[in-house]
Amino acid sequence: MGYLELKGLRKSFGGAPALDGLDLDLTEGELVSLLGPSGCGKTTALRIVAGFETADTGHVVVAGKDITSVPANRRDMGMVFQAYSLFPNMTAAQNIEFGLRLRKASGSERGKRVDELLELVGLGEFGGRFPHQMSGGQQQRVALARALAIQPRVLLLDEPLSALDAKVRVNLRDEIRRIQTELGMTTLFVTHDQEEALAVSDRVGVMSQGKLEQLDTPAVVYREPASAFVAQFVGVTNAVLGKAESGAVRLGTFTLPTDAAADLADGSDVKLIVRPEDIGIVEHKGESNGSLLGSVLTQSFLGPVTRLVIRLDGDEQTIRVDQPSNIAAAYPPGTAVALDFAASRFMVVQA
Amino acid sequence: MAVTAKPPRKVAGTVLRVVVLVVLGFYFILPLVAMGEFSTRGINNTRSLDSWTGIFEDPDLVDSIVTSVELAVLSSVLMLVLLVPTMAWIRLRLPRMRRVVEFLCLLPLTIPAIVLVVGMAPLYAWVNYFLGDSPLTLTFVYAVLVLPFAYRAIDAGLAAIDLKTLAEAARSLGASWGTVLWRIVVPNIRTALIGASLLSVALVLGEFTIASLLNFETLQVQVNLIGKRNAGLSIAVSLACLVFAFVLLFLLSYVGQRRRVTVVED
């Protein structure tokens, strides 16, 4: 039994389903991300936990207590929003203090807590600043401190980084993870940025059309996606069209034997899903020896690796292959290459 | 050198601005100066403040001034109490009702005062029956009358803040709806509320038709009566009234700015 449990949540807006029976368990102190494209229901799920939306059916349980019908202001959920949400008429310190005042904490207690929290988010000197005197990143830090001030039972993060610059975003996301681990705060983090989700989460829940497609550690979600959707949403992936043929996938003249194709009807259209870093490459000279052939179309340098886009021979399809940059330099555009799937992890799905 | 000289277009723009300012300034100030001149005329081309001192010697006039000021305050308060929670709630929870409420609030603007009175008269028979025939009962009509102006001002104020996010942030921190309204909404649309109140005060202080037709002795009704026997006094009161409204405008905008500055320095 988890600390925060979402049980069979369903919600539709004007007939369009946003959540279609969502079940999710968070153990205490765990950070779980909900990841998915916009409209997949992740924000709706978070808002139902916060109490801003009511589920059509289903329950939200915290520490064994059903809070489905508890109003938002009595749920003790700390929330950080996507939009800047600091109260413009209050200083950073007054913002952080707000929840404590409502809980009738004494002046000295409030002062002490505000100082602690400003220190925690690295803004010790900023207590007297108004929101308009702070940068976006600083505002979100204060918003985090404000949410933590009430010692919430669960911390809810609704894409808190998406309005920030790339650099600030990475810093703050690591900061959030550090603070969350330090406090052992059970956290539900909603994001559409897969890199963000993979980087900070204990577990990642990938959502599509109101349902969880997969819920597992970042490494498992990345390495062993449960579905074609997860594979294609998390990380960069190739989806090459081919045909199933007696326990193998056929791409032009190339045949890739695989157990994954065993259940598929011969001649049916399939997609071969494989990550760019999982494909080997050798320069191709002379005769075809049954490997998948193509020629390098473009190269993009990404720092440690270089991504080669390769056009398959006798086919308009392209495939992306990542190689260490020093190796990729040997394959300028136009080079004929043979692709090697020997060490690859791949999936085969019905197209 | 042509480099240092102002481009002709810029000069023309400045000239145009000055001309517009002078013409409009003249247009607005001239009647006020004329009123001042007229109300300080004494016998045999002398200057006299008799009309001005007379304001405080006419007990009916003093009563009506008190009544109008009370009405202005009460109407503003009633308008704010009705409108602010309603409009905040509609933005937060019932966005589909927005058009309807906007239409209702703008309606008084389209109905001529005389028509309003015809409709109000039977209603006021009941109001007077239950609450007595104090002129302060005009508060109810006036609060309706100021709705179109107040609605616009408050709507602009609410549109300028991210009400939904702020309200949700406060809710998640444990605020009741009342606290959200009082501690979050009101302080953040203060300028709009001051604007709405100011418009209401100005409107109530200047309203004549309804008060007169419903037989209540407000300031404007008195000014009209006095004008029939003592033109100097009525002009003096009118001018005083205008100046009062200007001072109020100045004070309120000053208060708005001052508050902001003090908050920043906290």
Mean pLDDT over A5-9 rounds to: 93
Mean of the pLDDT values across residues B135-152?
91
Lowest-confidence segment of A50-64, A281-295, B245-259 by average pLDDT = B245-259
How confident is the model over A85-117, as pLDDT tens digits? 999 999 999 999 999 999 998 999 999 999 999
Residues of B in contact with A126 (CB under 8 A): none
d(CA A259, CA A253): 19
Of the partner residues B172, B183, B187, the one whose CB lies closest to the CB of residue A50:
B172
Among A75, A80, A87, the residue to mutate for chain B (most B Cβ within 10 A): A87
Q: What's the pLDDT score for residue B82?
A: 94
What mean pLDDT is reported for chain B?
86
Sign of CA dihedral B215, B217, B220, B222: positive
C-alpha dist (Å) from residue A165 to A84, A133, A208, B161: 14, 17, 27, 23
pLDDT of residue B265: 32
pLDDT band at B4 (very low <50, low <70, confident <90, very high): low
Closest to A84 measured CA to CA, from A145, A44, A135, A17: A135
A222 touches chain B (CB under 8 A): no
Chain A neighbors of B161, CB-CB under 8 A:
88
> Per-residue b/e over B201-215, b at no fewer than 16 CB within 10 Å?
bbbbbebeebbbbbe
Give the N- to C-terminal CA distance of chain A in Å, as an integer.
38
Residue B138 has pLDDT above 80, yes or no: yes
Top-confidence range, A137-141, A230-234, A255-259, B91-95: A137-141
Q: Is A21 in contact with A41 (CB distance < 8 Å)?
A: no
Question: Does the pLDDT at position A193 exceed 80?
Answer: yes
Q: Say which residue the tokens 């990404």 belong to.
A: A302
Question: Which pair of structure tokens corresponds to residue A228?
Answer: 């074609």
Nearest CA in chain B to A50: B172
Q: Please check the confidence at residue A137 and state whether its pLDDT lies above 80.
A: yes
Percentage above 90 pLDDT, chain A:
61
- Measured CA to CA in angstroms, residue A325 lies from A307, A321, A337, A340 at distances of 8, 12, 16, 18
Tell me if A306 sits within 8 A of A296, measured CB to CB: no
Instruction: Name the residue with tokens 């996301």.
Output: A173
Cβ atoms within 10 A of the Cβ of A297, count?
Answer: 13
Q: Are A278 and A258 in contact (CB under 8 A)?
A: no
Helix residue spans in B111-182 (DSSP H): 113-131, 139-145, 147-159, 163-172, 177-179
Mean pLDDT of the region A21-31: 94
Residue-wise pLDDT for B31-41, tens only, equals: 999 999 998 88
Residue of B nearest to A129 (CA): B264
Q: How far apart are CA A79 and CA A321, in angstroms?
A: 41
Predicted local confidence at residue B182, as pLDDT: 93
Distance from CA of B243 to the nearest CA of A (A): 33
Alpha carbons A24 and A46: distance in angstroms, whole number: 11
Helix (H, G, I), strand (E, B) or coil at A273: strand
Q: Following DSSP, what letter does each residue of A281-293 receive, concatenated?
A: EEE--SS--SSEE
pLDDT grade for B3, boundaries at 50, 70 and 90:
low
By the 10 Å C-beta count (0-12 exposed, 13-18 middle, 19+ buried), A162 is classed as middle
Q: Does the distance separating the beta carbons of A84 and B263 come in below 8 Å?
A: no
Distance from CA of B254 to the nearest CA of A (A): 18
Question: What residue segments make up the domains of chain B, in order of their start?
Answer: 8-39, 58-265
CA distance A156 to A160: 10
Distance from CA of A83 to the nearest CA of B (A): 7
Mean pLDDT of the B180-204 span: 90
- Rounded to whole angstroms, the Cα distance separating A230 from A224 reads 9
Whole-angstrom Cα Rg for chain B? 23
pLDDT, tens digit, for every residue of B199-254?
Answer: 898 889 888 988 998 888 898 898 888 888 888 888 998 898 888 888 877 776 67
Tell me the mean pLDDT in the region B69-83: 94
Q: Which of residues 146-185 of B touch A (CB under 8 A)?
A: 161-162, 165-166, 168-176, 179, 183-184
pLDDT in tens, A201-246: 999 999 999 999 999 999 999 988 898 899 888 988 888 888 888 8
Among A51, A78, A81, the residue with its CB nearest the CB of B165 is A81
What tokens does B158 get? Answer: 């609410």
- Any idea which residue has 């028509």 for tokens? B115
Residue among B171, B187, B190 minimizing CB distance to A73: B171
Asked if B266 and A52 come within 8 Å (Cβ–Cβ), the reply is: no
Helix (H, G, I), strand (E, B) or coil at B150: helix
Inspect the interface and report whether the beta carbons of B173 and A81 lie closer than 8 Å.
Answer: no
Q: What is the dihedral of CA A284, A286, A287, A288, to 10 degrees?
A: 10
Disruptive mutation site among A98, A103, A188 for chain B (greatest number of B CBs within 10 Å):
A98
- In this prediction, residue B264 carries a pLDDT of 35
Please check whether residue B192 is in contact with residue B154, taking contact to mean a CB–CB distance below 8 angstroms. Answer: yes
Flag if B166 and A87 touch (Cβ within 8 Å): yes
Beta-strand relationship, A336-340 and A346-350: unpaired
Helices (H), chain A: 42-50, 92-102, 107-120, 136-149, 166-183, 194-200, 218-223, 228-233, 325-328
Measured between beta carbons, the chain A residues lying within 8 angstroms of B171 are: 51-52, 72-73
Q: Phi, psi (5° rounding) for residue A20?
A: -125, 65
From the centroid of its chain, how far is CA B214? 21
Identify the top-confidence range among A60-69, A233-242, B8-17. Answer: A60-69
Return the CATH number of the domain spanning residue range B58-265: 1.10.3720.10
Cβ neighbours of A98 in B, within 8 Å: 170, 173, 175, 183
Would you state the structure tokens that stand for residue A339, as one six-digit string?
A: 């692709």
Q: What's the token pair of residue A257?
A: 């034997």
Tell me how crowded residue A111 is: count the other CB atoms within 10 A of its CB: 15
Can you tell me whether residue A97 is helix, strand or coil? helix
Residues B116 and B218: beta-carbon distance below 8 Å: no
Q: Which of B163, B164, B165, B173 to mutate to test the interface with A (most CBs of A within 10 A)?
A: B173
Q: What angle do CA A72, A76, A80 make, to 5 degrees?
A: 80
**pLDDT value at residue B242:** 86
Reading the block at residue B6, the tokens are 């102002």
Q: Which helix (H) or strand (E) holds A243?
A: strand A238-245
The whole-number pLDDT of residue A287 equals 67
Residue A62 pLDDT grade (very low, low, confident, very high; cuts 50, 70, 90): very high
CB A249 within 8 A of CB A261: yes
And the tokens for B130?
């239950």
